[in-house]
Amino acid sequence: MRKIKLLLSYDGTPYQGWQKQPGLATIQGSLETVLTQLYNEPVRVIGSGRTDAGTHAVGQVAHFEAPKILRSEDKLLRGLNALLPETIAVKSLWLAPDDFHALASARRKTYIYRIWNHPVRSALWNHRALHVPHPLNLAFLNTLARQVVGRRDFKSFQTTGTL
């Protein structure tokens, strides 16, 4: 088997998060459905982390064990993107070392939170920013932001045994 590493982007609006759940649309479930279709046997996808319902990603890493050599990496990339919903894109893929594990190998994660600060909501930012219609106290928010800037150790929040 060959281990394939994926770099994904997705609009999480229609999904109930990353993790596959029976009867619900999820990112992992969508990827596994398409890969199972391509390989004609079950394929399990491991992500670098689980996202909540409605969360978007611009560079999430995942991997899967390719049950057989099916096609070139370029053809696999094009095949995946042709079959996946428009809300999920595989930006790139490549062979990964045998010891690579998307979750256990993750070293950092970056989160971006946006605020749409305007009296009228935005149709374009509807699912991508928190709408706050009243004026914000930017001095106070900047003071709060300085409290969280920097490197932090979040190991206590990780799943046991992942690092």
Q: pLDDT per residue over 31-77, tens digit each?
A: 999 999 999 999 999 999 888 888 889 899 999 998 877 678 888 89
- Nearest C-alpha neighbor of 35 from the set 100, 75, 80, 86: 80
- Helix residue ranges, H only, 43-157: 73-83, 138-146
Spell out the residues 6+ positions from residue 36 whose beta carbon is closer than 8 angstroms to its own.
Answer: 42, 43
**Helix (H/G/I), strand (E/B), else coil: 72:** coil
Report the helix count and the strand count for the chain, using DSSP H and E: 3, 6
Residue 116: strand pairing partners: 131
The residues that are catalytic are 52
The rounded distance, in Å, linking the Cα atoms of 142 and 148 is 10
Using CB atoms within 10 Å of the CB of residue 34, give its burial: 0 to 12 exposed, 13 to 18 middle, 19+ buried.
buried
pLDDT tens string 3-19: 999 999 999 999 998 99
Residue whose C-alpha is closest to residue 21's, from 50, 48, 49, 1: 50
Read off the pLDDT of residues 107-130 as tens digits, 9 standing for 90 and up. 777 778 889 999 999 998 888 899
CA angle 37, 4, 68 (to 5 degrees): 55
Distances (CA, A) of 33 to 30, 121, 154: 5, 36, 32
pLDDT value of residue 60: 93
- Evaluate whether 4 touches 95 at the Cβ level (below 8 Å): yes
80-100 tens-digit pLDDT: 999 999 999 999 999 898 998
Confidence bin at 161 (pLDDT 50/70/90): low
Domains of the chain: 2-95 (3.30.70.580), 115-157 (no CATH)
